[in-house]
Structure 1
Amino acid sequence: MSIFSHATHVRHQTEKRLAQYAQPSVSYFLLIGLASAISTIGLLMNNVSVIIGAMVVAPLITPIFGFSLGVLVLQVDRIVRSFFMLLSGSALAITVSFFLSWVIQQLENEPLGVGTEILTRAEPHYLLFLVALFSGAAGAYAYSKKEIAASIAGIAISVSVIPPLSVTGIGMALLSSDLIYNSLSLFFFNLIGIAFGSVLMFIALGFGKEV
């Protein structure tokens, strides 16, 4: 088997693997909703262990890899489907966080406390972009290798996609434009970093070449 034909075979296997996890489904939206709820509670408690648990549950990182691969091989249907999943999943995460934060605020009858974990997810920084970039490359490589696909959970933890969206919801409940703007900025930093890193890795694996 030539190098190009091997790369094409691996690409097709990766596409199938991504397709299993990149379809709009009840499970996808349920997991994102639960992850957002867990993340929001962890942020309000200022408890990093709870926040990490939310990162493991959330499947939001997968559509980013599907989008990157679709752009690389010019598959419009994959691009549109992945973009829809990413957009709808992000909107759901923010909505759940906002609603939960609002309810908690009403129950406690006082403004929510803003701890260090919330503030950390509202501080865009170029080093965090680099983390997302390398995580995107690692995630793309993991999806291309069936035997190490389980590493995706660790990669999701390292890049932290859900918590910034949860902070956006908390910011909406607090009517804090700074929290909303900065957390969304961090989310887009992560999003662009993951996408760019995964595209570079897919290119390195030869996915853009055809026999």
Structure 2
Amino acid sequence: MAVTAEDIDRITGRLFLTLGDRFRNLTAFWVLLVLAGIIASAGVVADSTATVIGAMIVAPLMTPILGTAVAVVLADRRQLVVNILTVLGASLAVVVIGYLVGLVVLTDVVAATNSQVSGRVSPRLIDLLAAIATGMVGAFALVRSDVSDTLPGVAIAISLVPPLAVVGLTLESGAPGEAVGALLLFGTNVAAIIATGTLVMLLAGVRQAAMEAGVAVARLGGRSLVAVAVSLVLVAVPLGIGSFKVIQEQRLVAAAEPVADAWAEEAGWQVSQISLQGSTLQIVVIGDPPRPGTDQLREALDAARLAGVDVELTLVVGGSQRLDGE
């Protein structure tokens, strides 16, 4: 997997936007980023997976993120600062775009009513694992020009612009907690790409190849590598907490399901949905009159060791009625 001097020119020319035709590189980056932000925001609002995937392919945000990893490996402080500032500026731009799109939408774009939002506001450790694997594929495809065709797949697998669009949309909708969750997902992906990119490029011998190509390579300090590793740990902690919380919620819902099913079935009703919203168990049941006794459900849940769980019960009464016109 060792890279050559020719590979160094290809890698730096592709990732360092200020090299070569700077104006052309930067205008292409920002035009594509703005369009990707608009597409992603529209896709989230429309709850369209296909549209969101389109935004992932168009988005050029992977370039400065991998450029940050290359700058770390080459100990190029100037490019490191340029790429980090580019990532931060681009991220803020997409958040603003999402917020502005939210202003023209009549309804709130939140997790309760939108699957594109709900899938991005509660990141877990499994998301970090996927981001690490995807980041490794992206870095490997970068150092190996013969497998560069996999990069569109990497763009789809790693979620960068859509979470930022969700941050803007949920902030405008008055859901800052969900915005923080989406921002954590974005941060997780960025940290994973930089960490795995740095590792892959070190193993591929990018530093040695750069020296042979006559590229100025400074000494790689241990603090730089520690900073990369720490960033990965910092995102892993809240992801671990989130994963534990999800497991606890799943256990609670699993314990409540048979109790609610038995109670509803005894009354000739049927449980439509059971979920946990915050610390409150949401139970939706449907059926025909008469309504089942709610006290019996509370007693059954208490007997199943769920006495400390608040319940919000929604009874959906069935039946039909004919309304004749005049």
Q: What is the TM-score with the length of structure 1 in the denominator? A: 0.88
**What CA RMSD, in Å, does the superposition of the two structures yield over aligned residues?**
2.1
The alpha-carbon deviation at position 7 of structure 1 amounts to: 4.4
Structure whose alpha-carbon radius of gyration is higher: 2
Residue 42 (structure 1) aligns with: 43
The alpha-carbon deviation at position 75 of structure 1 amounts to: 0.3
The alpha-carbon deviation at position 92 of structure 1 amounts to: 0.8
**Quick one: which amino acid aligns to residue 47 of structure 2?**
N
SS of residue matched to 1:140: helix
Residue 71 (structure 1) aligns with: 72
Q: 2:10 aligns with which of 10, 13, 20?
A: 13
Q: What is the TM-score with the length of structure 2 in the denominator? A: 0.58
Tell which has more relative contact order, 1 or 2 (C-alpha 8 A, sep 6+). Answer: 1
Residue 197 (structure 2) aligns with: 198
The alpha-carbon deviation at position 45 of structure 1 amounts to: 1.6
The alpha-carbon deviation at position 55 of structure 1 amounts to: 0.2
**Quick one: which amino acid aligns to residue 100 of structure 1?**
V
CA separation of 1:78/1:140 partners in 2, compared to 1, >3 Å: closer, same or farther? Answer: same
**Quick one: which amino acid aligns to residue 35 of structure 2?**
L
Q: Which segments of 5 or more consecutive residues in structure 1 lack a partner in the other structure?
A: none
Residue 316 (structure 2) aligns with: none
SS of residue matched to 1:208: helix
CA distance in 2, matches of 1:97, 1:163: 9
The alpha-carbon deviation at position 111 of structure 1 amounts to: 3.0
SS of residue matched to 1:175: coil
Paired residues of 1:129 and 1:189 also in contact (CA < 8 A): yes
The alpha-carbon deviation at position 66 of structure 1 amounts to: 0.5
**Quick one: which amino acid aligns to residue 73 of structure 1?**
L
CA distance in 2, matches of 1:10, 1:111: 48
CA distance in 2, matches of 1:132, 1:50: 21
Mean alpha-carbon deviation: is it higher for 40-49 or for 187-196?
A: 40-49
The alpha-carbon deviation at position 18 of structure 1 amounts to: 2.1
CA separation of 1:150/1:182 partners in 2, compared to 1, >3 Å: closer, same or farther? Answer: same
CA distance in 2, matches of 1:25, 1:14: 17
Q: Whose strand proportion is higher, 1 or 2? A: 2
The alpha-carbon deviation at position 87 of structure 1 amounts to: 0.9
CA distance in 1, matches of 2:124, 2:4: 35
Residue 101 (structure 1) aligns with: 102
CA deviations on 1:54-81 (whole Å, 9 max, x unpaired) are 1000000111110001011100111011
CA distance in 2, matches of 1:118, 1:170: 9
Q: Which segments of 5 or more consecutive residues in structure 2 lack a partner in the other structure?
A: 213-326
CA distance in 2, matches of 1:53, 1:13: 26
CA distance in 1, matches of 2:28, 2:115: 31
Figure out how many residues of one structure are paired with residues of the other and give that number.
204
The share of aligned pairs that are identical, in percent, is 24
Residue 93 (structure 2) aligns with: 92
CA distance in 2, matches of 1:112, 1:62: 29
**Quick one: which amino acid aligns to residue 31 of structure 1?**
L
CA distance in 1, matches of 2:10, 2:34: 29
Paired residues of 2:109 and 2:170 also in contact (CA < 8 A): no
CA deviations on 1:82-136 (whole Å, 9 max, x unpaired) are 112111111111111110111123xxxx434531211111111111111111111
